[in-house]
Structure 1
Amino acid sequence: MAKPGTARRVFDPLLNELVAERDTSSDRIRAKLTDAYDWCLCELCWRSTEYATAVGARKFFKRPRRENAHAVPLTDAIRVEAQKEADALVARYERAWKGEFGPYEPGRMVATYCDIVEMRGDCSVEAFREHVEQRALIAAWARHSNLLAVTRLPGQPKGAAKPSKLYCEAHNPRRSDEARRAYQRDKRFAPQYNELIEKIWTAQAGNLLAWDIEAHVHVKREAYRQLQAHKSPTRLIDDLLAQGTMSQAEIARRLGVSRQAVSAAIKRRSQKPMAVN
């Protein structure tokens, strides 16, 4: 049975047409998707959620009357059409910066045609062109076909679980046995993980840019590393030993633990029985 939701039609400035939009019935997911930065990051680590990955994997199809749907290739004509549109927008943006359309036109164009998070505060003409060219290409391609967001991740079989809006592929418990074990292992420490994130933001407030998505990824990655080093250092020790260039003292400094703890973990690792095929 489908989840209840509210469907409505809204105008998409990228496609220049009305598109269907359906609200989720989950307050938790709705709150996550309204966050400009964390909407695409896993709840338990720094990786992108499956949903964010699927959103980026656009598909272009066309279904002629009484025929099966087929993929629409990206032709040179579509590229030329998109480039003309992008050049026209960039030319208007340059004129807007000169004040020809009022003081608010540059900001309006950035909000309409660009992703403010990805621009990272760079509203120059070059940055605007970079974002507009990509969006103009998608819009032109979509006008010659039907733009669809995939309902499963690339490479996954038909009938697989839908992409998760909360977790990455490595933490989605419905994805695989390994992912379920990772979910169960890290879910227990979710409060400590969120606490570490807050501490890192506070400690590095002068060096991190809150509007930069890369800063959010860095903080979550560092919090995950610290949590794993504290809760299960053996996993990180194995990764460092695999590099083959670090001594026990260097590993201890990297993980923030004593050399004796590293030595004991290595000893336990060597005593584990070898798997027999």
Structure 2
Amino acid sequence: MIVITTPTGDIGRQVVDRVLEGGEPVRVIVRDPSRLPAHVRARAEVVEGSHADADTITRALKGADGMFWLVPPAGFHDAGSARSHYLEFTRSVCREAAARGVRVVGVTSLGRGYQGEAGLLSAALAMDELIEASGVPYRALALPFFMENLLRQAPAIKEHGTFSMANAADRPLPTVATRDVAAAAAALLLDSSWSGQARVPLAGPDNLTPDAMAEVISDTLGRTVRYHQIPLSDFRTAMVQRGASPAFAQDMAAMVEAQNNGIYDTEPRNPGSAAATGFRQWCQDTLKLDTRP
């Protein structure tokens, strides 16, 4: 039995489908079962609740062999720190998985060894340390910037020919597509041969700056798209003005500052483990569909 968290999320839903295709029995943890696709409700066992809840985790891991673990980011209005959010989410699963010998495949950040605060990324790395200290068999999918983050920019790209972030325009930003993350996670969940603990850095074959991304997007869409860099202080202030808690805004700003300082370059990546999807291919397959006139 393989337990999957966040089965309605961008990554989790793809993991569910891939594991079901692999023929393994699946159990999903979900707050609202009505959000599950009909084929998942028909084929998977459903545990209703939050995977931050100890009782829910206990029910979900009964008789399980493996688990896909992903902590959703703290809420926009959450007044607490990202680190507290990640660790509170994870403590129960560490206890239960260790007690039951459940192997865990988790989603985390590239950047182990980075010296400095990195907001959401530091929280994910602290989560890894907590899981590893429990002795749970663990494969940490260590990831950079998600290509899918740019889908939030689709309206601006479509209407104004621009996309904006606080990331340095001339700093290479490793990226990964969620479909490659899901493929790697499902492969590990379906492979019963591994044990122990290891990190699995995963990034696409490109290492483009935001300015270079704009050039690729322009080529793909057949119209000029430019990148606009927002000052980091303006980025943080704008988030608070839109209703974000100061803690959330600070964690986001610290994450971007760390990206600008090269956090993803502090952890070695094996060229042979590069994800399959390049940025241009992702733009053709995904972004182009969301920016059609």
Same fold (TM over 0.5): no
Which category of TM-score, normalised to the shorter sequence, fits these structures?
under 0.3
More helix by percentage: 1
Larger Cα-atom Rg: 1
More strand by percentage: 2
TM-score, with structure 1 as normaliser? 0.22
TM-score, with structure 2 as normaliser? 0.21
